[in-house]
Amino acid sequence: MTLSIESPASAGSEPVRLMVCTTCRAAGADADAPRPGAQLLAALGEALMADADARVRLVVEPVECLSVCKRPCTVSITAPGRWTYVYGDVDPAAHAGPLVAFAAQYQATADGLVPWRERPEFIRKGVVARIPPLVRAAP
């Protein structure tokens, strides 16, 4: 399942990709319990549909394992020419809306570097890795 939303305000810009691990299990959860990543995907879909004024061109994609398996939910955010970040401990029940807002902050930068104090607290605490831009943005 791939979710996407594009707002008129961001038409023509490169989309931000938000990847959500759908294979993590919550600690102590039953084998047949819903996976946190699936819950986050559903919450992101609801947040995107509810935010008619979203100022981000965002593509949300499920992925299998970001190698942060003990810190569900795990997500990664990236876009051409920008730093890529991996985050853990994202709460599907609380962080979908703030994650969409953070994606808009991220897209508004030239390099993906949102000033530390402007990042949501769960983003500041949950960072696992940051990776330099792999592909430069088109001139």
- Whole-angstrom CA distances from 21 to 24, 39, 55 are 6, 11, 24
In the complex, what is the shortest distance from the CB of residue 102 to ligand FES, in angstroms, rounded to a whole number?
A: 19
Give the span between the Cα atoms of 78 and 139, in whole angstroms.
18
- Which range, of 8-16, 50-58, 66-74, 124-132, touches ligand FES by CB under 6 A? 66-74
- Which range, of 11-19, 21-29, 50-58, 99-107, touches ligand FES by CB under 6 A? 21-29
Give the span between the Cα atoms of 15 and 97, in whole angstroms.
18
Give the span between the Cα atoms of 65 and 77, in whole angstroms.
14
* Sheet of 3-5, strands arranged across: 3-5, 58-63, 16-21, 75-78, 84-87, 127-131
In the complex, what is the shortest distance from the CB of residue 70 to ligand FES, in angstroms, rounded to a whole number?
A: 8
Using rule CB under 6 A, residue 66 touches ligand FES: yes
Question: Which member of 30, 52, 53, 67 binds ligand FES (CB under 6 A)?
Answer: 67
Using rule CB under 6 A, residue 77 touches ligand FES: no
Q: Could you list the residues that contact ligand FES (CB under 6 A)?
A: 21, 23-24, 65-69, 74
